[in-house]
Structure 1
């Protein structure tokens, strides 16, 4: 039996019933990884402590959780040319050329994630990459992971030319003469190249998961919903868990394939069974992911009305209605949680309609389906969330008027539809459970900048004054709850973690300052000083505990 007392700072006091904070305390006692006491009751145990942790005036909170991310892909980005920070096409080409020169043994050059605003309309030409590397295929993912940019050698390797038909569930950007430009959109087109590119080794994938979860631990995160897992990658997760390489809990969501989902329920059930047999408390596989649509910036998000800048287009839904309903019902019948990517208002309605059909076919139960991203929602659909028990998962870093929003998103949506984006406060006011995520590596993995954006609706430069669509701002307590208790609810773990109550797991993050006590413009700079998973430190900047 080991007793640790955290003291010398501020402790977030939890309500025993609600999800928002219940005030502030001064100490926390943890016995064998479980919270034993809070406040004065914890201080009363100080004389019995095996060790004490001085909080150095900081703010001890339930640890953050990420309700939607892609840690494997985030870790794998380290293996290719580093292009995320490049500010021009010329810089990207130079980074690719330098990496290719340094790795003559590489058959392909594979990297991520480039900024789609660096070319008009997000359309990138293969010739620009040919000038950097012409002798080997190059495949670069955009930051949205719904688009890739390839060189001519990659197009040739995939057999994509003027005569190639448009793939189902994807688009090949073309020049006026019909030849492929070099930009491929959505899985139907991307997979034409990806399936002929070499994969990463098992060891590379295990190392990527280790690196990714270590980064999460350093950001105060102890649970992540991995929202896109292919069965071929499951051995990497199993090996990482068995080898002690995971620094956070991961719940896997296997991707449902619109073109072949009928064979997946049995396979996913067997994969879930493998994870359960492994018996590692850091790994679960209880979820199935559905991509209902694409993204607004490439005109592939499904909208109820046509795009403002493409009047003949309303998006690219990935599922036929009946197939979607059948697939959702089949996976739900096996007890999987449903996690649906829906960006456009048309996709959100498809998702809600599908969940209603699941309830009709399979009967009532505590499902907690998740609809992720929710960039545009028809206001008439908001009341439907509570009746279906939907968890609304937002990536708050997106809720600001940055270059992507100004140059690509708003011109495609047009007004007044652009003013409906990311209605976090509206759903919270309607009683919907809100969870927050990052969608890393699409955007950064660290929760603190997301917390700040949810509160201010401003860019890192604090623009615009007063915030973008300020009626959808939320207060600090609501945003913190979305990163903690909200994700715990999503994970069916609200009795296990996400609040600081006796009997709950000591999943903790120590922040240098209490975000609720700061001016809003300072929240993004709050530093993480320590992270504990079930009482075990996974990241620490503080001195060692006193024993």
Structure 2
């Protein structure tokens, strides 16, 4: 260790070393890496300060951070989110907070009147439970705007609600055939209602609507990553990246707009794959050539199905409401297996959205096929959401080493669950949702993500639900499906070391214990960077840390989601400080 290195000593608080290690009281960071913990951290810091005083060298003074009795832990990661989409929500009418259809219409009218020059009114994301069966009528939006098209994305980002002008410009009428991988709900006379579900239908409108400017998109990423930093997050998996988004990320990284590490999961669309695989490889190469320490493109995203609320989540047994029978598989099992084999062979990490139990099985089968065809390797394939899975398939996660990247905030009896999900699944399947503790107990790797902006990006809010399984009102008493509640330390780990494992950032090499952070790539896996290892307190790891005002392991359960974050550090540099 060089006495001239940048040094920061954290002291006078609790340093969480993980569930299997005793707490410490101090931590020393030198040049962005953890250099020492506990008494050794204070000894080294004191020796360095004494050396500087005796030599008159003040080039790199020791900064002492008084934790003031607070809690220092590895920073959070987000294993599945959509930063660009979340940031862009600020660019249109503010419909997310609306609690009725009338409020949404009024907000759209207000925004349209305040922005008379905008060609389209585009916003997100409305609450799909506000209308029966999630079906919204174009005529309701016509009350706000008739001369311009309006397109609003639902909370799930699998659905849009449009006005009549948007339907007209997209050429959607009673004669329009049902699109592949999409649905156009209709009135009794066959005319389109105004709600469009899944990509095949949504694309009919987005194909004729304008894109946000590059400047707006870069600003959206600036806001989004700053938002994540304010929540203690230093690494985010963008789980839906299309070709134009790569340009946005490259521009954002080059302009210094990113406050967190981002890994891109490039979208594989069955309507165009495998022809798009060379472009994915080229996109990865462009990111690597930029060489920015906060940006990687190691993953490929697949949608195996839709969502239960639309009855497009793929189920082994029919929906109770029966409108869509077993739901929708986006890829046939054989197609998905062949595609996963191809991207795995190209060196990408597989990341599969799977909501229903049929989709989860299809995803596991595809990953197992890739293992068989391409040979065993440390591939760390991801299945995101895992809302519902057959008991036998839960056991396969551990057997195959597949990471379950789950959204703990969804495991509660909120309006979406009670109004849309439970009636569609019925009582027997409903209580098998989000089997987080079962998966963890079976030995499956567990990571957490928010799916923001579908739901809150706040890890502490997700952790609160993971350990309580209750809604904002504290209901039901004892928790919903209480056998799946996690311990607090298990939930903290899923949002930190669990995501680091998903990111291939869980190992610190001996030669990385000293020296400046350089983020050089490694051949050990698609995401490994020896100097960027994070997610645990360990000498040599990157000092990706979050300082909480209080200890979340001992706080009252009702106070978990309200815990205050004092600071977030990425490689030892503050990316957020509470005012």
Q: Deviations over 1:76-109 (max 9, x none)?
A: 0000000001011110000000100011110000
**Cα distance in 1 between the residues matched to 2:135 and 2:365:** 33
Q: Displacement, 1:235?
A: 1.1
Give 1:505's match in structure 2, choosing from 512, 525, 542. 542
Question: Which contiguous aligned blocks of 4+ residues in structure 1 show a shift greater than 3 angstroms?
Answer: none
3-state SS in 1 of match to 2:409: helix
Asked if 1:534 corresponds to 2:546, the answer is: no
Q: Which residue of 1 aligns with 2:39?
A: 40
Give 2:359's match in structure 1, choosing from 347, 352, 355. 347
Where in structure 1 are there 5+ consecutive unaligned residues? 15-19, 543-547
TM-score by length of 1: 0.97
Asked if 1:133 corresponds to 2:170, the answer is: no
**Cα distance in 1 between the residues matched to 2:323 and 2:207:** 33
Matched-pair contact (CA < 8 Å) for 2:534–2:543: yes
Asked if 1:256 corresponds to 2:268, the answer is: yes
**Cα distance in 1 between the residues matched to 2:78 and 2:319:** 31
Give 1:7's match in structure 2, choosing from 8, 11, 16. 11
Q: Deviations over 1:415-447 (max 9, x none)?
A: 201110000000000001100000000001111
Matches within 5 A, 1:467-546: 467-495=479-507, 496-541=533-578
Give 1:407's match in structure 2, choosing from 419, 427, 451. 419
Asked if 1:428 corresponds to 2:440, the answer is: yes
Q: Deviations over 1:338-357 (max 9, x none)?
A: 00000000000000111111
Matches within 5 A, 1:133-532: 133-310=145-322, 313-495=325-507, 496-532=533-569
Matched-pair contact (CA < 8 Å) for 1:21–1:481: no
Matched-pair contact (CA < 8 Å) for 1:137–1:153: yes
3-state SS in 2 of match to 1:408: helix
Q: Displacement, 1:517?
A: 1.2
Q: Deviations over 1:235-284 (max 9, x none)?
A: 11001101111000000000001101111111100100000010001000
Matched-pair contact (CA < 8 Å) for 1:10–1:27: yes
Q: Displacement, 1:312?
A: 5.9
Matched-pair contact (CA < 8 Å) for 2:382–2:502: yes
Q: Displacement, 1:519?
A: 2.3
3-state SS in 2 of match to 1:401: coil
Matched-pair contact (CA < 8 Å) for 1:32–1:535: yes
Q: Displacement, 1:325?
A: 1.4
Matched-pair contact (CA < 8 Å) for 2:356–2:386: yes
Q: Displacement, 1:311?
A: 6.6
**Cα distance in 1 between the residues matched to 2:139 and 2:274:** 40
Q: Displacement, 1:46?
A: 3.3
**Cα distance in 2 between the residues matched to 1:280 and 1:124:** 43
Matches within 5 A, 1:32-181: 32-47=31-46, 48-49=48-49, 50-181=62-193
Q: Displacement, 1:23?
A: 2.5
3-state SS in 1 of match to 2:160: strand
Report the count of equivalent residues: 537
RMSD: 0.9
**Cα distance in 2 between the residues matched to 1:22 and 1:77:** 41
**Cα distance in 1 between the residues matched to 2:539 and 2:466:** 29
**Cα distance in 2 between the residues matched to 1:94 and 1:13:** 50
3-state SS in 2 of match to 1:355: helix
Q: Which residue of 2 aligns with 1:29?
A: 28
Q: Displacement, 1:13?
A: 1.7
Matched-pair contact (CA < 8 Å) for 1:12–1:21: no
**Cα distance in 2 between the residues matched to 1:531 and 1:146:** 32
**Cα distance in 1 between the residues matched to 2:244 and 2:491:** 36
Where in structure 2 are there 5+ consecutive unaligned residues? 50-61, 508-532
Matched-pair contact (CA < 8 Å) for 2:311–2:323: no
**Cα distance in 1 between the residues matched to 2:455 and 2:430:** 21
Q: Deviations over 1:119-152 (max 9, x none)?
A: 1110000000001100000000000001100000
3-state SS in 2 of match to 1:110: strand
TM-score by length of 2: 0.92
**Cα distance in 2 between the residues matched to 1:461 and 1:66:** 26
Q: Deviations over 1:6-37 (max 9, x none)?
A: 011111124xxxxx352211000000000001
Matched-pair contact (CA < 8 Å) for 1:296–1:412: yes
**Cα distance in 2 between the residues matched to 1:238 and 1:66:** 20
Q: Displacement, 1:520?
A: 1.7
Matched-pair contact (CA < 8 Å) for 1:21–1:477: no
Q: Deviations over 1:217-247 (max 9, x none)?
A: 0000000000000011111100110111100
Q: Deviations over 1:471-521 (max 9, x none)?
A: 000000000000010000000110110001111000000001111112222
Matched-pair contact (CA < 8 Å) for 1:509–1:531: yes
**Cα distance in 1 between the residues matched to 2:472 and 2:576:** 25
CA 1:503–1:107: 2 relative to 1, 3 Å: same
